[in-house]
Amino acid sequence: MAVPLSKDLLRAEFVGKTLHEVITPAAVLDLAKVEVNCNLMLEAAQRLQLSWRAHIKTHKTEELTRLQVGDASSSPVNLIVSTILEAERVVPLLQEYRDKGRQINVLYSFPLYPSSTPRLAAISKQLGPRAVTVMVDHVDQVAYLDTLTTESGGIAPLVFLKVNVGSDRAGVVPGTSTCTSLITALLASEAAGASELLGVYSHAGHSYATREDWEAMGILGAEFEGLKEVAEEVQREQKKAHVQNPSHTTHRPLVLSVGATPTATTIQHPDLDPSSSAPSHSEPTPNPNPNTNAAAQTTHLKSLLHTLSTQNLTPEVHAGVYPTLDLQQLAAHARSAPYLHSGLIALSVLADIASVYPLRGPSGETEALVNAGSLALGREPCQEMVGGEQYRGWGIVMPWGELAAEKVPVPGEGFPREHGGWEVAKISQEHGVLRWVGGADDEVPVRVGQRVRIWPNHSCITGAGHGWYLVVDSRNTGREDEIVDVWPRWNGW
C-alpha cells in the first residue's frame, strides 16, 4: 500500500510561494472554480430532490471530497471510488461524517473480484453496516458477496446491479436472459443474508461524444428509462419471491443511480423548475430525439422523475470530473455556453518553455518545447465528431501570465470544430510540443524560459501523473498566482 504524502511537509514547501517559484511540471487547481462547480451540482440535486453520489476518482483528495458533499451539510454522504485505495484513504473522513450524524456510504465502482474482498471487508468493519456498496454485473460474482460478508464479520454489503446503457464498458443489457439470471441470483443472495440489493447503476460514458447544447439530457433520460426497466423486473421477482415465501420481502425503494459529468450536469438546466406542479399522469412523456431542443428534453425529464417517485424508486445522480472540468467536457457541450465555458476549467498543468523552433510546423508555424509530456498531461484525446476537421491536440495553453495580456484564443462555442492558439500538438514521455494553430499574422510570440499553464484534455488522466495539487485562488485579487494550499492525491490501487 502506498504511503500517504505528508500534507504538512508539502504546505511548508509550497504555501506562500507563487506559480513562478515552483518546479515544473505541476498540477494546479483554482479553488474559486472548483467551489463554483461543486456548489452548482449540490444546489441542483437539492432543488430536484435527487439523491447525490460524488465520484472522487478524478482528484483523489480529502479536500475536494469535502467540497463535493458539502462539508457543513447534514445530507447523506454517498461516494464512489475507482480504486480500493481511495476507499481506504477516505475512511477517516467518512468516520468523521458518521460521528456527526450523517449517513455514509462508499461504492467501489468496479465489478467484484476475488482479491478485492479482504480489503473491502476491512473497510466494512471500520465503517459498519450499510456503509460499503459493491458492483455486480455477472452471476459468477454473486458468490463473492458471501465471501465479503464472512470476511467482514457478518456485515452484508449493499449491491448495485451494473447496467449497460450503451457505453459497452461494463454491465448487463436490460431485457436479456443474462440480466434476469443475475437478478435471480442477487435476490437469492439477499434472502440468504449475504447482501442487500441497493439498486441498479449505469454510467453513460458515451455521453462524452455529444456535441449539442443539452443533448446529454436526452441520454440522462434514456439512462433512467433503462434502469427503470431493470428495476421493474427486480420488483416483479421480489413479488414472486414474497408469494413463495411471505417472510422474504422488502419495502425499500430501489435506487436508480445514473450519471457521467455530461449527463449529470444537465440537471442544472434553469428550466428544470422544481416549484412547478408535477404532472398528473403516471406515464412519462415520450422520450424526444436527443437532438430535440432543451424545452422538450426538460419536459420529458421532469415527467420521468415524477413517474419514478410513484413506483418506489429513488433517482440518484453521480459524476466525477465536474469539479475540475477539462477540454473533453467543453467539447461535449452538455450545457450551453453561459453554463459551460473555459473559464470554469479548474485544472491546469504548469510547464516551462525550454526551446522555440520558428517555421518548424507542417505549414511553417512556430513550435515550442515544454517540459510536460504524456506523463504530466496524459495521452487521451477528446472524442471526435464525425466529419470536419476536429481538435486533435493534447492540451491548450490557457490565457495566463505573459500570454494573458496578448489575449490568446480560448475554446469557444465552436470547439472542438473551431480551435486555435498555442496547442500541445505532439507528446512523448516528458516532451510536449506546442504549435500555433491559426493565422501566421495572429501568432502570439513565446520565448525560451517562459512559463505557461495548459488545460488538459481529461482531468482524471492528467491528475494521475501528479502526487499533489498546488492550489491557488483566483478570487485573491493581485495574488491570483499565490499558492494557498497543497492537496495530496491518493495515487495507486
CATH number at residue 246: 3.20.20.10
Quote the domain boundaries for residue 38.
31-328
Pick 79 or 274 by higher pLDDT.
79
Cα–Cα distance, 61 to 82 (Å, whole number): 13
301/428 same-domain check: no
Tell me, yes or no, whether 16 lies in a domain: no
Question: What is the per-residue pLDDT across 384-400, written as a single tens digit (0 to 9) for each?
Answer: 654 445 899 999 999 99
pTM confidence score: 0.94
CB 425 within 8 A of CB 436: no
411 burial type by CB count under 10 A (0-12 exposed, 13-18 middle, 19+ buried): buried
pLDDT reported for residue 142: 98
**323 shares its domain with 370:** no
Higher per-residue confidence, 242 vs 422: 422
Reduced to 3 states (helix: H, G, I; strand: E, B; else coil), residue 132 is strand
More confident residue, 245 or 367: 367
- Residue 282's pLDDT is 44
For residue 158, give the nearest of 150, 167, 149 by alpha carbon: 149
> Do 294 and 424 reside in the same domain of the chain?
no
53: left (phi over 0), alpha (psi -120 to 50) or beta: beta
Same domain? For 386 and 269 the reply is: no
Residue 166, classified by CB atoms within 10 Å of its CB into exposed (0-12), middle (13-18) or buried (19+), is middle
- Asked whether residue 149 falls in the same domain as residue 251, the answer is yes
Pick from 213, 249, 269: which is nearest to 43 by CA? 269
Residue 297: pLDDT band (50, 70, 90) is confident
Q: Which uninterrupted H or E stretch holds 328?
A: helix 327-332
- Whether 130 and 211 share a structural domain: yes
Task: Over range 181-194, report the average pLDDT.
Answer: 96
Lowest mean pLDDT among 106-120, 139-153, 210-224: 210-224
Average pLDDT over residues 254-275: 89
For the segment 66-93, the average pLDDT, to the nearest whole number, is: 97
What are 453's strand-pairing partners? Answer: 350
Is 318 in the same domain as 351? no
71 and 202 fall within a common domain:
yes
Q: How confident is the model at residue 280 (pLDDT cuts 50, 70, 90)?
A: very low
Residue spans of alpha helices (H) in 199-267: 215-244, 261-264
232 and 263 part of one domain: yes
- On whether both 373 and 323 belong to a single domain, the answer is no
**Residue 491: C-alpha distances to residues 34, 127, 135, 372 (Å):** 20, 22, 22, 19
Query: Do residues 279 and 395 both lie within one domain?
Result: no
48, three cell numbers: 430536484
Element (H, E) at 107: strand 104-111
**Where residue 421 sits, what CATH number does that domain have?**
2.40.37.20
Residue 229 has pLDDT above 80, yes or no: yes
Residue keyed to cell 432543488 = 47
- The tally of domains found in the chain comes to 2
Cα-based angle 209, 175, 107 (whole degrees, multiple of 5): 60
**Which residue among 267, 296, 328 closes a domain?**
328
